[in-house]
Structure 1
Amino acid sequence: MPLSVPDRLTDLPYAHLLRPHTGPLRSDERYDTVHFDGGEYTDQSAAGATFLECAFTGVALSGVKLRRARFNEVWAQAGRWVGCDLSDTEWQDSAVTGGVLAGVAAHGSALRRTVLRGCKLEAVNLRGAVLRDVVFEDCLLRDVDFGEAKLTDVSFPGSTLEEVRLRGARLTGVDLRDAVRLGLPDGHQGLRGAIISSPQLLELAPQFAHALGITVKD
């Protein structure tokens, strides 16, 4: 599922159209070909806003309310999203690279054809989210909750999963083979529909045995 992600701002097809953003974020605003560069936004609200062909570089958002916001063809690099409300947001044809998402509420969100590369996700709530054609590449996912979420054609190449919860999730074509580590506290719960490698199967074998009531003794 190759998804192309530009490495540089100048590689964006709409780079020549970008104009710098000034002032605070605003709810229900439409941001079209806007460049958010190096700004800090704290406890502001952009709920219901639309970001179309926008770029974020080195932006720090803390406690920002973005509920029901839409991100279409957005490119975000080296940003920090801390304690933000991203619930019920929509992401399509977008990329987040080298970013940090910590304490983020993203339950009920929808991500389609989106790449997260070299990101750190910690204490991120994605319960009930819908992910289709999403790639977590070289990411650290720690204490990320996919409970009751629907994941279709999602992959985790080079990523480390620690305390990632999948209980109640529905997986279709979810490829975990290239993940560096599978730290799944729910064990086998939620893995139906996933693709794993033989070494990963051996790693998870004790959890499968426990779930089936099997005692293994040598």
Structure 2
Amino acid sequence: MPNAAPNVPDFPDRLADLRFADLLRPHTGPLRADERYDTVHFDGGEYTDQAAAGATFLECALTGVAFSGVKLRQARFTDVWVQSGRWVACDLSDGEWQDSAFVGGVLAGIAAHGSAVRRVVFRGCKLEAVNLRAAVLRDVVFEDCLLRDVDFADAKLTQVSFPGSTLEEVHLRGAALTRTDLRGAARLGLPDGHLGLRGAIINSHQLLELAPQFAHALGITVQDR
């Protein structure tokens, strides 16, 4: 079997351990559209209903930041480290995330459809009502996360894994999975998962749990007597 382990950088859990930590300078003022933020530290701020579409974030750190209703459509995030952040009702659609990490924090009511997510780690995060329809995810890890009502419909997932994560109402209808490893997930709540699991890797226990969905999809009636 081809290697299914995502190829992601080794991200630290502490700000001081970032390789660009000594270069960071504090951010002040509002977010701006099409702005380039290079080696900037966003620390503990609150950003509400601001528009920063097309902005670029390069080698930035965001610690304890709260985004609410922020419009970041087509924004680009490269080498960005996010810790204990709160993202609520934000528009991240058609954006790009690469070589980045979310450590703790919450993403709720997020529009991220059409996004490209490459070599990104989500560690100890809660994702609720996140729209990743038609997104492209490659080498992505959801580690010890809660994914509730996350929509991967028509998305492309390549070498994505979910070690220790709980999946509740996660939708895969129409998704294209390649070497996507679900074996480490603590729970698989896939209401229509049988329609999008082709290309996934699961273990025998998970197969038994999903057997009723597979039988229903194939029109099989299971009856012992």
Q: Normalising by structure 2, what TM-score?
A: 0.96
Q: Which runs of 4+ in 1 moved over 2 A?
A: none
Contact 1:187 1:208 in 2 (8 A): no
Distance 2:118 2:109 in 1: 22
1:52 matched to 2:53? The reply is no
Q: CA deviation at 1:164?
A: 0.4
Q: CA deviation at 1:68?
A: 0.3
What aligned pairs does 1:1-218 form with structure 2 within 5 A after superposition? 1=5, 3=8, 4-218=10-224
**Contiguous gaps of at least 5 residues in structure 1:** none
Q: CA deviation at 1:187?
A: 3.5
Identity of aligned residues (%): 82
Q: Normalising by structure 1, what TM-score?
A: 0.99
Distance 2:118 2:32 in 1: 25
Distance 1:106 1:171 in 2: 18
Distance 1:123 1:21 in 2: 29
For each residue in 1:144-176, what CA deviation from the matched residue of structure 2 results, as whole angstroms up to 9, or x when unmatched?
000000000000000000000000000000000
Q: CA deviation at 1:213?
A: 1.2
Distance 1:187 1:164 in 2: 8
Equivalenced residue count is 218
For each residue in 1:120-152, what CA deviation from the matched residue of structure 2 results, as whole angstroms up to 9, or x when unmatched?
000000000000000000000000000000000
User: Which residue identity lines up with residue 212 of structure 1 in the other structure?
Assistant: L
**Contiguous gaps of at least 5 residues in structure 2:** none
Distance 2:34 2:81 in 1: 20
User: Which residue identity lines up with residue 169 of structure 1 in the other structure?
Assistant: A
Q: CA deviation at 1:43?
A: 0.2
Distance 1:37 1:187 in 2: 39
For each residue in 1:28-73, what CA deviation from the matched residue of structure 2 results, as whole angstroms up to 9, or x when unmatched?
0000000000000000011100000000000000000000000000
